Amino acid sequence: MRRIAIIDYGMGNIRSVQKACEFLGHTASLVHEPSALAEADHVILPGVGAFADAIAQLRQSGFDKALRQYVCTGKPLLGICLGMQLFFESCTEGSQLHGIQTGLGFFPGLVTRFPSSLDVKIPHIGWNEVETRPSKLFAELPPSFYAYFVHSYQVSHTELPSAIGLTQHGHYFVSAVEQGNVLATQFHPEKSGTVGLKILENFLSLTPNDFTAKAKEKLGTSKTGGAPLC
Amino acid sequence: MLTKRIIPCLDIKNGRVVKGINFVSLRDAGDPVESAQFYNQAGADELMLLDINASHEGRSTMLDVVSRTAEQVFIPFSVGGGISSLDEIKTLLRLGADKVSINSTAVRNPDFITESALHFGSQCIVVAIDCKQCEPGRWEVFVNGGRVPTGKDALEWAIEAEGRGAGEILLTSMDADGVGQGYDLGITRQISDAVKIPVIASGGAGKLEDFSDAVTKGGADAMLAATLFHYRQLEISQVKKHLHSLGIPVRMDY
């Protein structure tokens, strides 16, 4: 029996992630205590909302430390939407008020708003194409597929080796990442129909044996030479 | 590139779909959840569940429909019809709706748009506008299911709604609705040219070209239809193939 923990830190509609797991035949608990992560086999960090509020919530509740410990156990972690953005080093959202916000730092790079110079609608809402690189997350899916997005901030570091999905909205941005046991999507698999359910199913079938120790070592090492996470 | 969306609409009364659908494959053609699942499989990009109840009992049945839909359907869906308070919006979103559509209450109290957008984010607030042409080039807003004229200009109202934080405009032409002669391209174009948020064209779809015209001539981002899909005069897949053949981006894999 897989123990799936969905982190409930007060950000957004997380029930639909839980319902999607249930639809796939699993039991998933919404967890409010960082200690619950130690007992989970799969952890999902969902979220819709503002980066500054979210990271403050995670720090205040102690989920930031618990997530780092969880990642170092080698068990799979999935970030969705804001969850993915929180995995990066930092974000400019709300920077006029609070300065640049630091994220969890699993991936190097800055999360920024879609530049207004792109002349596209912001927020980016709707179905868009994800062009993928081979990943366990996309097993048995075609090389490109449509997924459902709702966001105004994005990761434009398309050169990242960990980028496994790119999407075009005015320019290319990173729509999925994978490094070792840490995986994330900017789109919402729980709202992306059968394709999205397949992605969740792929994630839920992963075990620590699916990841090499070497891949995990790269987590947290930024371009500027940050220390490894584990 | 973002795709243009096809949105089937289910009119729901006392927990049952009105304008009974004739889908042989459905065990219970009146069950909104089964209809929603059918449309999900058929390639709908999004669903609209419209509550046409007047009674209190009907309302609570609707909440059950929303909750059950969220358990079975994994594409975005909106809920509309009679929403008049922040509490109602909160309840619907918690039950799994992705967006809510507000109409009469927003016209009577425009601050309702501002407050809803502030509380829940623009991405989940759809402002529905029902309008009728009153003179050449001018459309008037109607409320209460299209029964009560308001004297408000539809174009000005759409611009105000955007300014107050609406995430989308669901535009229904009451002249075109139910006639099957195409969407009202005049007001659709006026509004889509004037606002930056997506405009959903509604009312009047009868043939394939109506959908492509809504995009190319009306500037619509999404097209909503009810009867046409319920009676299977057209399949969603036919509409998508048609749009795709004209080079209009649509989601083809589902």
User: What CATH number is given to the structural domain containing B14?
Assistant: 3.20.20.70
Q: Number of folded domains in chain B? A: 1
pLDDT at B162: 97
Instruction: Write out residues 58-97 of A within 8 Å (CB-CB) of B.
Output: none
pLDDT at B20: 45
Domain residues for the domain of B102 are 5-245
Q: Is residue B251 part of a domain?
A: no
Helices (H) and strands (E) in chain B, counts: 10, 11
Task: State the pTM of this model.
Answer: 0.92
Sign of the CA dihedral with B254 first, then A6, A204, and A81 last: positive
Q: Is residue A77 part of a domain?
A: yes
Residues B13-29 pLDDT 10s: 888 888 644 445 555 66
What distance lies between CA A188 and its chain's CA centroid?
10
3-state secondary structure of A22: helix
Catalytic one among A42, A81, A151, A157? A81
Mark whether B130 is an active-site residue.
yes
CA-based nearest distance B126→chain A, Å: 13
Residues B111-158 pLDDT 10s: 999 999 988 888 899 999 999 999 999 999 999 888 899 999 999 999
Residues A118-144 pLDDT 10s: 988 888 999 999 999 999 999 999 999
| CB-closest option in B96, B198, B253 to A19 | B96
Quote ipTM for the complex. 0.89
Q: Is residue A31 part of a domain?
A: yes
Q: Is residue B23 part of a domain?
A: yes
Q: CB atoms < 10 A from the CB of B186, how many?
A: 18
Q: Number of folded domains in chain A? A: 1
Q: Is residue B252 part of a domain?
A: no
Q: Is residue B10 part of a domain?
A: yes
Domain residues for the domain of A142 are 4-217
Using CB atoms within 10 A of its CB, is residue B196 exposed (0-12), middle (13-18) or buried (19+)? exposed
Q: Is residue B154 part of a domain?
A: yes
CATH of the domain at A204: 3.40.50.880
Is A221's pLDDT higher than 70? no
Partner B contacted by A172 (CB < 8 A): no
